[in-house]
Amino acid sequence: MHLLAAMLMNRRSELGKFGEDRACEYLTKVGYCILARNYRTRWGEIDIIAVKDQVLSFVEVKTRQSCVFGRPAEAVTRAKQRKIQLCAEAYLQECHLLETMPPLSFDVIEIIKGTRGIQHFYHYRHCF
């Protein structure tokens, strides 16, 4: 049973990395500068921190292989949003940005990966 659990975790982390890589490619292509990936704090992790037009964006990437259990973005619950906000505050403190507080955006990138590549990709800007 431990082997099966390990295999499932590995597949899930590979899918997550795939999604984050595609999200970074997209963000760079549309003019964002990626500042950090997988920024970790005691409250959790922010997948991508990027800046465009002086707006600092904290991006959660949700990648799934289907919508059987709902849309990927629906997994960003209020509790998850709060954790991301706490992580963002830690990042702002660490980078000494609280004094000059840039405009902030909390975004979600939703990806559905099919057998032949990406079936669906959507960037929800300023969504929480």
Q: Of 95, 21, 97, 94, which Cα lies nearest the Cα of 59?
A: 21
Residue 114 pLDDT: 87
pLDDT tens digits along 27-53: 999 999 999 999 999 999 999 999 999
**Pairwise CA distance, residues 121 & 119, whole Å:** 7
Residue 9, pLDDT > 70, answer: no
Beta-strand pair 44-52/55-64: antiparallel
pLDDT band at 117 (very low <50, low <70, confident <90, very high): confident
